[in-house]
Structure 1
């Protein structure tokens, strides 16, 4: 896009607190570029994002802002959601500090732009779509806001004095912007701007009627697109973990990922010596090692059963469900550590 056509003082903003969520941010950024947005793209990152991933983000986003993690420390309410990881979503409040922009649209890293949505910048703060679970509240995965240091400080004070009814940013923001449901209908974005990817099983008739008009898909819940398997020969997503996401949107996410992101995650070369393990660890490392294998080549055309099980195991670990008496027993962990030390991988970290 020519620099002259870019609206520099308005931006789409997202947040990545680690390398895994950076994958979502990269796909989101590419989906916005793919839809020919004329706005700037900004991503907020924390110390949990590696230098390698920061470089990848800089290839897609115009602005990278390093922010501190804000944690609600509200374990009781977060327990109600069985999602203790949502505490760090308070970090989202830092978006109000991006005062180089006069207006912005925040989008969670697990959202995907299906069409050009630049018209959102015609809306005022705080504009958002209703939450599928409680429509009198808005879903904070997509919202229009006006960056302001004063608003940021006010939100922090409000958080301290009032807290959040769900322990995360959505509960806090709905309490702070508590007139959203009643004051001005213009601040109600159509549901098409924040469509829950699982909703089609409940609202199938509506989806058949309006599905072609969906603007933004939101992969809510603990199971994200990157937790699913992918067949490198057929280009088909293989569902893992029971997320219930609509196959068509999972397919689009993976298509963008494989076309625009994955090739840049390949293992790196240190000097003249090939590094014997991926630069990125865990799920990101697995995705970096993917190679497209045409069916006629006779090569492996999908993740092996062991790889899929490893991915599911990591997902279970992230949710705090650890099989201490089985595969995750200490003896197995010790054996893996011994194997790693024996192969000398540790030398690449010193």
Structure 2
């Protein structure tokens, strides 16, 4: 069998909270592949992360120019490409998103399935290792035109250090600006990306914005894009309450419900 792995990114303490729940959901899938957690080596709490049965891979964002860092600071990114459909929490740092590109350096693995730390595994996803690299699920959460765009919360890649070096030349080209950070970059770099079924990356807004696409029995991975379920005073508790409760059930070891129906607005 090819050497494969799942991976996630815990770039700061807040996303380490998400990675903990992700690891606990991953154990329920009974996959034989390992789960890697890419994280800064000095991040507090990594020993507890290893106790969850994952392999911690010390990681830092790519080395980029100061001009690139200025263009992709939180203030600049939110000013030049503001989020208008949801709210990013205060701990969201756009620059840290690019650390997931370090996956391409891990060429001891033939294939890696990346899953964002603000997600949950609901079912076994080992079938993804049969997809070509680069494959990604669509960015569908409030309209069907999202099927034309990828979401970098779940993707399949074939690590290759030479590819990583080429990616870095494109990433930090003069005046390059990636409005949705790694997501914009990956869609540009892999323009002929292979599409994964959306059930491998069901974005939480589908629950109340596109309930016709919500299929609990088929969903493999649930992705909490925008607001995070562990946030205090969650701004969308009214719309996402059952999904927030689901996340906490997994985090606290209570498992998954047999069914979870969407909230359909009354006309």
TM-score, reference length from structure 1: 0.62
Q: Any idea what SS the aligned residue of 2:34 has? A: strand
Structure number with the bigger relative contact order (C-alpha 8 A, sep ≥ 6) is 2
Aligned to 1:113: 121
Deviation at residue 175 of structure 1 after TM alignment: 0.6
Matches within 5 A, 1:261-340: none
Aligned to 2:178: 165
Q: Any idea what SS the aligned residue of 1:217 has? A: strand
Q: Any idea what SS the aligned residue of 2:117 has? A: coil
1:142 and 2:154 aligned: yes
Deviation at residue 81 of structure 1 after TM alignment: 2.9
Deviation at residue 8 of structure 1 after TM alignment: 7.9
Gaps of 5+ in 1: 1-6, 181-186, 229-238, 261-350
Distance in 2 (CA, whole Å) between partners of 1:176 and 1:245 is: 35
Distance in 1 (CA, whole Å) between partners of 2:247 and 2:158 is: 29
1:259 and 2:253 aligned: yes
Shift of the 197–36 alpha-carbon distance from structure 1 to 2, 3 Å rule, reads: same
State the Cα deviation string for residues 99-124 of structure 1 (Å, max 9, x = none): 22111100110011111111000101
Q: Any idea what SS the aligned residue of 1:224 has? A: coil
Q: Any idea what SS the aligned residue of 2:43 has? A: coil
Distance in 1 (CA, whole Å) between partners of 2:78 and 2:119 is: 22
Deviation at residue 243 of structure 1 after TM alignment: 5.8
Deviation at residue 167 of structure 1 after TM alignment: 4.8
Deviation at residue 49 of structure 1 after TM alignment: 1.4
Distance in 2 (CA, whole Å) between partners of 1:115 and 1:193 is: 9
| Structure number with larger C-alpha Rg | 1
Aligned to 1:98: 106
Gaps of 5+ in 2: 255-267
CA RMSD of aligned residues (A): 2.2
Structure 1: 4+ residue segments shifted above 4 A: none
> Residue 240 of structure 1 is aligned with which of 234, 240, 251?
234
Aligned 8 A contact 1:15 1:45 in 2: yes
State the Cα deviation string for residues 64-123 of structure 1 (Å, max 9, x = none): 111123475224444313567222101111111112211110011001111111100010
> Residue 36 of structure 1 is aligned with which of 30, 38, 51?
30
Which structure has greater helix proportion? 1
> Residue 228 of structure 2 is aligned with which of 199, 204, 224?
224
Aligned to 1:175: 188
Deviation at residue 159 of structure 1 after TM alignment: 0.3
TM-score, reference length from structure 2: 0.80
Aligned 8 A contact 1:194 1:216 in 2: yes
